[in-house]
Amino acid sequence: MALALCALLGGCGGPKKSFDDSFNKNFHEKFVGSCVKSATERGLAQELAAKLCTCASDKVSERYSVRQKMSLKDEQLRPILEQCKASVKG
């Protein structure tokens, strides 16, 4: 029965991968948008804010699973943002 269901759904792991891909895309867009807005409101130039926030989003995606990203805390983001600040300002 499980094999039939997997075949029907286009392969085992397909729906989860599709969900994860969709979540990650949405997470990146929302994270970067919110981060850039916050950074520019604090006086950071738009271009620098975009680089910083994209860097942070990429690092979050490297370090955390979809499940972990659903409950990410500020204290988990701070070191990532600091690391990105150092690399973006170079």
Taking only the tens place, the pLDDT of each residue in 38-65 is 999 999 999 999 999 999 999 999 999 9
> CB of 43 within 8 A of CB of 31?
no
So what's the pLDDT on residue 88?
Answer: 85
Kindly state whether residue 8 falls inside one of the protein's structural domains. Answer: no
Kindly state whether residue 38 falls inside one of the protein's structural domains. Answer: yes
Model confidence, pTM: 0.79
Listed in sequence order, the residues at least 6 apart from 72 whose beta carbon sits closer than 8 Å to its beta carbon are 60, 64
The range of the structural domain enclosing residue 37 comes to: 25-89
- Name the domain count of the chain: 1
Kindly state whether residue 2 falls inside one of the protein's structural domains. Answer: no
